[in-house]
Amino acid sequence: MLSKRQARVFFLGGTFLFSGIFLVLSIDTMRRVPKQTNAEGLTPEVVAGKRIWERNNCMGCHTIFGEGAYYAPELTKVVERRGVPWLKVFLRDPQAMFPGQRKMVQYDFTDEQIDHVIAFLDWCGQVDLNGFPADPPLRASLRAVSGSASSSISAAVADRPLPDVFTTGSCLGCHEVLGQGGAAGAAIGAPVLDDVYTRKTRDELIEWIGNPQGVKPGTAMPNLVGVAISEEQVIEIVDFLLSLNPATTEPGNQI
């Protein structure tokens, strides 16, 4: 048994020791905060996006940093998961990406407001949350499957630049082309498009891209003509996809 003097020394020594440890850890935490919170990325656009987020009570349905409601998807890493082009189309018209399914309100955001919201969500995704949210357990296997076609294309085709329409039209949000994009498509089975010329003719591609819901009602692919792409851009997409055929001499020819 400790004497009174020993107990006093034990108590005071333990108090000072653990108070010192707590102080050191607190200082270390405060020094790490600017880097881990991506403080340098707090641009006026990010701030404006945060105000839109709060004004529209987005946390009433979504979670961010693990906080909020659980009715709709967690959005901390949504830019990494879906991609900017996909998000632009979705925020402009939630029904366009999931016809007859999405319950999200049509807010009629302007293009500037959409850019601000995405800037805020992108900033959130850059915050160091020590591994939160965790990667889906099947992501690696899904990406391996989705990327199988890209590994078989020739070097000449692989080095070909993608037309801008693949980015602005949201194609890369779901589909992988020449090793790019496909972040959102793996989970819903959106195919890699490198070898689509082996599965569909030119006319079939034009019909499918122009009106996928008319060809196959209920398909995961939305009607994007008039929403994200024009009829002329449909032809541009088809010509490029068919030109990936090594045997093709002119864009648009079939084999």
Q: Give residue-wise pLDDT tens across range 210-241.
A: 998 889 887 878 788 887 788 999 999 999 99
- CA distance to 15, 16, 73, per residue, from 10 (Å): 8, 10, 51
- For residue 249, the model assigns a pLDDT of 46
Q: What local confidence, expressed as pLDDT, does residue 239 receive?
A: 93
Q: Is residue 89 part of a domain?
A: yes
CA angle 3, 8, 13 (to 5 degrees): 125
Angle in degrees, CA 6, 9, 15, rounded to 5? 140
Instruction: Using 70 as the pLDDT threshold, list the residues of the chain that sit under it.
Output: 96-102, 135-158, 169, 183-188, 248-255
| Chain Cα centroid distance, residue 20 | 43
> What is the CATH classification number for the domain harbouring 61?
1.10.760.10
According to the model, what pLDDT value does residue 129 have?
84
Q: How many domains does the chain have?
A: 2
Is 31 within a domain?
no
Domain check: are 106 and 182 in the same one?
no
Range of the domain at 146: 139-243
Q: Average pLDDT of the chain? A: 81
Note the Cα 53 to chain centre separation in Å.
18
Whether the CB-CB separation of 177 and 166 falls below 8 Å is answered with yes
Which domain-ending residue is among 126, 148, 171?
126
Domain limit, last residue, from 66, 99, 126 = 126
Q: State the Cα–Cα distance between residues 35 and 27, nearest whole angstrom.
A: 14
Contact 178, 160 (CB under 8 A): yes
pLDDT tens per residue across span 116-139: 999 999 999 988 887 777 766 655
DSSP 3-state of 113: helix
Do the Cβ atoms of 118 and 126 come closer than 8 Å?
Answer: no
